Copies of this chain bind each other. A is one copy, B any other.
């Protein structure tokens, strides 16, 4: 997953992009980058780096990113060696000297065949990510100065998930794939148009939310004022398939995406989950921070008190210090510590949004037992994750997904639970207003597009498998 932002026609566009990326940091912590267009010099400036937004940009870097138009990107940490080369936005110079910058959220499903084809034609790739395919397709398709047509041509050849913000010599192009897998919203403030993965970025920038870019739509926003038009490039019969996992886990609770208020949506998932399977417990405790909002719904539905009894240490960063040999299961404790008095002798209803591998939950439940919990009932606010995602969510391989390997009772036994319930797929879909507009492939295996034959570990990194 990734977060992307674009902004037009404003003083210090890069500085606003910086703060917008701050609001989107939860969508990617591996690398951060901004490209600005300096309309005075006609030069696109780029700064990218490994790490969080505040680690990557200094005041000097922002000053260097001059201009009234900018786009930005934060990249999710996937397995394998993080490479600065893969940091986005990409910036290249194509035919006619056009400076093209591109920020991409999503994964292409026909990346390998496209890359092979382009390499056969003599194209040289600089990164191992599928996003670079867009750049080559656009460069090849460009005729004269019609960038919009070249982008549409490129989109007609790729398959899969892509929310894109492209900047070509100061003009922005915001594109969402025909299925609309990932969110991309439009905001405005003063004369400035903004595009961002989530609306929480607009709140930070004091911009107003306008609407989402629609599936199959391209918005073109010129560097000057009032210069904005929309076009649809996809066949009308492509079904909308938005990623429901964005609502379950990925998006920030203070965002609106896919027309849903994420906070209310998660509370409703928690409520329906408890309606489906009440827990005989004294209180509801979330796994912080992912389980908090479903817990609030669960507590309100059940009448049980909500207790914030697992304390998360927010100073824990991406440290590589190893624990000493006499510290067992250290990873359990360094991030989250239970409040002893809330656990001992109590029957607990513990809530999280999903179970992926189950290893962390197992050691945490064991810790609750060790501290004297009388009973541990576990409630999950989404169905079991059983299938890989080819559209941008970085699940482990099926062999590592606990729900692919075991049924619900086996999982409850393995985790040492007194009871376990997953929200049903119907329950999940009844928490949203347009149930048939969602991709639920990770739960059902029903993919809305062709997918690569052999399931590969990291669909986005087409060179590693």
Interface of A with B (CB < 8 Å)? 10-12, 15-16, 18-19, 22-23, 25-26, 29, 52-55, 57-59, 62, 92-97, 119-120, 122-126, 135-136, 139-140, 142, 190, 200, 203-206, 252-254, 256, 261, 263-264, 289, 292-293, 296, 299-300, 305-309, 311, 313-317, 319-328, 330, 333-334, 337-342, 463
Q: Return chain B residues, CB-CB under 8 Å to A319.
A: 54
Q: Return chain B residues, CB-CB under 8 Å to A204.
A: 333-334, 337
A11 with B135, Cβ < 8 A, contacts A54-B319, A307-B296 known: no
The closest CB in chain B to the CB of A320 belongs to B59
A136 with B124, Cβ < 8 A, contacts A15-B324, A254-B338, A341-B261 known: yes
Contact across chains for B322 and A308 when beta carbons are under 8 A apart: no
Q: Return chain B residues, CB-CB under 8 Å to A299.
A: 306
Q: Which of B58, B315, B326 contacts A52 (CB 8 A)?
A: B315
In angstroms, Cα B328 to Cα A119, docked, is 45
A125 with B93, Cβ < 8 A, contacts A254-B337, A324-B16, A326-B190 known: yes
Contact across chains for B52 and A18 when beta carbons are under 8 A apart: no
In angstroms, Cα B58 to Cα A175, docked, is 43
In angstroms, Cα B54 to Cα A124, docked, is 31
Q: A62-B321, A124-B139 are in contact. List 15 more A-B contacts (CB 8 A).
A: A22-B315, A23-B337, A29-B315, A52-B317, A54-B315, A55-B317, A122-B139, A124-B135, A203-B340, A206-B327, A252-B311, A253-B311, A263-B341, A289-B314, A296-B306
CB distance from A261 to the nearest CB of B (A): 4
In angstroms, Cα B254 to Cα A341, docked, is 9
In angstroms, Cα B96 to Cα A64, docked, is 39
Tell me how many chains of this kind the complex includes.
Answer: 4
Q: Return chain B residues, CB-CB under 8 Å to A136.
A: 122, 124
In angstroms, Cα B338 to Cα A206, docked, is 13
Contact across chains for B292 and A334 when beta carbons are under 8 A apart: no
In angstroms, Cα B314 to Cα A289, docked, is 11
CB distance from A84 to the nearest CB of B (A): 10
The closest CB in chain B to the CB of A192 belongs to B326
Q: Return chain B residues, CB-CB under 8 Å to A10.
A: 326
In angstroms, Cα B292 to Cα A289, docked, is 13
Q: Return chain B residues, CB-CB under 8 Å to A264.
A: 341
Q: Return chain B residues, CB-CB under 8 Å to A340.
A: 203, 254, 256, 261
The closest CB in chain B to the CB of A10 belongs to B326
CB distance from A238 to the nearest CB of B (A): 28
In angstroms, Cα B11 to Cα A413, docked, is 36
Q: Return chain B residues, CB-CB under 8 Å to A293.
A: 308
Contact across chains for B140 and A119 when beta carbons are under 8 A apart: no
In angstroms, Cα B24 to Cα A337, docked, is 13
In angstroms, Cα B306 to Cα A122, docked, is 58
Contact across chains for B122 and A322 when beta carbons are under 8 A apart: no
Contact across chains for A313 and B23 when beta carbons are under 8 A apart: yes
In angstroms, Cα B95 to Cα A328, docked, is 41
In angstroms, Cα B204 to Cα A322, docked, is 14
A324 with B11, Cβ < 8 A, contacts A261-B340, A311-B254 known: yes
CB distance from A135 to the nearest CB of B (A): 6
